[in-house]
Amino acid sequence: MTRLELVVGPPAHGGHCVSRVDGRVVFVRHALPGERVVAVVTEQRRGYWRADAVEVLDPSPERVTPPCPYAGPGRCGGCDLQHASAPAQLAWKTAVVRDQLARLAGLPDHPVTVDAVGGGLLHWRSRTRYAVSELGVAGLLAHRSARVVPLDECLIARDSSVVLERSWPPSSSVEAVVSSGGDTAVLVDGSPVEGPPVVRERAVGREWTVEPGGFWQVHPQAPDTLAGTVVELLSPRRDEYAWDLYGGAGLFAAALGCRVTVVEASARGVAAARRNLPGVDVVHAPVERAVLRLSTPDIVVLDPPRAGAGRVVVEGIVAAGPRAVAYVACDPATFARDVGTFRAAGWRLAELRAYDIYPMTHHLECVGLLTPAGAGPGAPRPR
């Protein structure tokens, strides 16, 4: 087992910090920037190593004792930042977004601040998937491993007792859903086994019904935060026409207050959108195809999965000529890559908001306003 003594460098996307030892890049987990630590190498690749900090020789003033007893090297892989104070977590994520924009979008000086959304660091996650061992014991996986770590409680889940206090089919996966509308459901290997066929969620001043296995934001503050930001950045007019791409159940379509076409490839998402928004046009198709066929929009909401939108979708949006795009992103790397594609097509990142809707983890959400380079920030088209 290779042990290293090193000084920890800046945070990088993925929940680790970047260090160098004898010219070799080492990605170090469970450390904070500026700390001097002893790290154990967990993986060796040709271009880099991965390591866990197992002893902190010079701790950062932002280091705290993790509230969860399962956090730390070799234990549960679910949380990356329990050893960081709340301000340090925001600073960490801010640094990561800045780095991704500089490296992938060519924007080294774009202002970025990651803001908290309220509700604290614990007991926020409304949808939690657990792994089950060969003995039927539920837990979470160790980092980059198939090893199940048994837990008594998951501190970021809204209620982990519905899963962790029972036995389950060996080697299965179990998901617990605790909705903002007060419903609880359990799925085993993706199939509902307990609870109602749809769960109630509350957002943008109304109630929604979503299948337990369907997509909904996991932080209770996220839907209103993200939808409010999208509306603020786009400033939609009632006489405008919008695309809501990767629209899911239609959260953003409901918030815009104008005529909208929702595009969603998932049959479950399409069913949810049609059930919740009966008067809205919902297109069941891959976004890559839909952007080539829909009527010209005034504005676009783009909320792709973690893989991002990609060149085909971005170029389709640019060709359609909207006045503005609100890009909602759960991955800063693919967001920055797509921003780079917009910029290459003559667009600019006019404004950026970022939110820590995944406390204790390295994940975050960005909302960017993109406009044609010659236009004002989201200015309405003349009529």
Residue 83 lies in a domain: no
pLDDT at 35: 98
- Same domain for 174 and 237, yes or no, is no
Domain boundary among 180, 210, 240: 210
Nearest to 97 by CA among 29, 12, 201, 39: 12
Q: Quote the pLDDT of residue 379.
A: 59
In the DSSP assignment, the letter for residue 335 is H
Would you state the structure tokens that stand for residue 382, as one six-digit string? 């003349």
> Residue range 255-267: average pLDDT?
97
SS3 of residue 275 by DSSP? helix
Is 183 contained in some domain?
A: yes
Report the percentage of the chain scoring pLDDT > 90: 97
For residue range 343-369, what is the model confidence (pLDDT) as tens digits? 999 999 999 999 999 999 999 999 999
User: Does one domain contain both 236 and 361?
Assistant: yes
On whether both 258 and 189 belong to a single domain, the answer is: no
Domain boundary among 165, 184, 210: 210
Residues 43, 52: Cα–Cα separation, whole Å: 10
Q: What range defines the domain where residue 324 resides?
A: 91-119+219-372
CATH (domain of 21): 2.40.50.140
Domain co-membership, 179 together with 287: no
From residue 149, give the alpha-carbon distance in Å to each of 138, 145, 189. 8, 10, 18
Q: Are residues 112 and 233 in the same domain?
A: yes
Name which of 110, 115, 168, 99 is nearest 139 in CA terms. 168
Three-state SS across 24-35? EEEEEECCCCCC
Q: What is the CATH number of the domain that holds 260?
A: 3.40.50.150
Q: Let me know if residue 136 belongs to a domain.
A: yes
Per the residue annotation, which of 17, 154, 330, 366 is the catalytic one?
330
Is 158 within a domain?
A: yes
* pLDDT one-digit tens code per residue, 7-44: 999 999 999 999 999 999 999 999 999 999 999 999 99
The domain total for the chain is 3
> In this model, does residue 73 exceed pLDDT 70?
yes
pLDDT given for residue 383 in this prediction: 46
pTM of the model: 0.95
Domain assignment present for residue 320? The answer is yes
Looking at the structure, tell me whether residues 197 and 168 fall in a common domain: yes
Task: Name the domain boundary from 63, 82, 107.
Answer: 63
- Do residues 110 and 233 both lie within one domain? yes
Residues 342 and 244 in one domain: yes
Whether 366 is catalytic: no
Q: Is the pLDDT of residue 377 over 90?
A: no
Residue 84 resides in a domain: no
- Is the separation of the CB atoms in 283 and 262 below 8 Å? yes
Residue 315 lies in a domain: yes
pLDDT at 376 (0 to 100): 62
pLDDT per residue over 187-229, tens digit each?
Answer: 999 999 999 999 999 999 999 999 999 999 999 999 999 999 9
Q: Are residues 300 and 234 in the same domain?
A: yes
* Whether residues 175 and 258 fall in one domain: no
pLDDT, position 68? 97
Q: What is the pLDDT of residues 104-146, one digit of tens each?
A: 999 999 999 999 999 999 999 999 999 999 999 999 999 999 9
Residue 294: its pLDDT value, please? Answer: 96
In a domain, 82, yes or no: no
Residues 188, 153, single domain; the answer is yes
Residues 31 and 100 in one domain: no
